[in-house]
Structure 1
C-alpha cells in the first residue's frame, strides 16, 4: 500500500515538475497535484529534491526496461529489432509526455542535482551503447560510427520529435513520421 501511495505522489510530482519546472515547483503544489495531505507527502519524501530524483530514476528505469525488452527479441531480423527499438521509444515517449519533457530538459540549475540526473540517464545510455557496440562488432552498424553519438542521437531524435509533435498537437506515431525516423536510423546500419 505504501508503494502505491508513493507512486501516486510521484505521478503528481511528475506533472508538477513538467508544468512548473524544478525551481518553481513547491511541495505544496506537489501535494495539490497528487491530491494528498502535506503530511502524507512528507511521510514518503522528506525533500523536493528526493522526490525529483525518485521520479527521474523511476522513469529512466522504466525506459531502460522497455527498450531492453525490445532489443532482446533475437528471433527478429536486425531491421525488425531496430524498428522495435524505435517503436518502443515512440510509444514510451508518447505515453509518458511529462517524463519525456523532464528527461529532455533536466538541467535544474543545481550542478549536484544535474549530475545525479545525468548519472541516472547513464543507465539508459549504457544499455543502448552496449547493444549497439555488439551490433557494430557483428558488422550491422557501420564501423566508422561513433556509438556514443549514435545512442545520444537516437534518444534526442525520437524524444524531441515526440515533444514537438505533442506541442503542435500532431499525432506522435504517424506512419510518415515513423518512416522518416527509420530512414535516419538506417543511415548507420549496413547489411552484412
Structure 2
C-alpha cells in the first residue's frame, strides 16, 4: 500500500511541476501577443459614442409612458379579476356561404378551411337570463358580454367588422347567437 502512496505522490508532484511550468510559458506568450490578437467581437465596427442615446427603435414617444397603445391587447380593459360572476359556456363556429357550384364543381376554389369563411357565429348559453339583461359590446378582436349572472370577455380568433353583424336571443334555449362578419384583408389574393 505504501508503495502505491509513494508513487502516486510522486506522480502528483510531477504533474504539478508540469502544469506550473506550462503556466509560466503561457504567461510569456501572453506578454508577446500583439494588440490585434486581443480584440474581441465587441471591437468590430465603429465604436459607439458616449454621448449618443439608446437606439431610436426602443425609445418611447413620451418619456413618462410605460407602454404604447399598440402593446396593449384589445379587451384587456374588460378583464376584472375581482368580479365573481362565472363565464358562461360558449361555442365559436366559422361559417361560409357555399353553393352547388362550390360543392360539386369547385368553381370558386373554396375549401373547408377557416381561410374561406366569411362569418363567425358565437353561441353563448345564458341560463336564467332575459334578453333585456344582456349587455353586448363587440370590438374588432374582442367580444364583451355582461349579464347580472354572467360575464364573458372573449378574444376572437379572427378580426371582425364590429358594426356589421347581428345578435339574436332564443328564450326557449336560453342561448344568445352572435353572428359577425370577418375582416379578410387578403381576400383579393386568396380567393382568385
Normalization by structure 2: what TM-score? 0.24
More strand by share: 2
More helix by share: 1
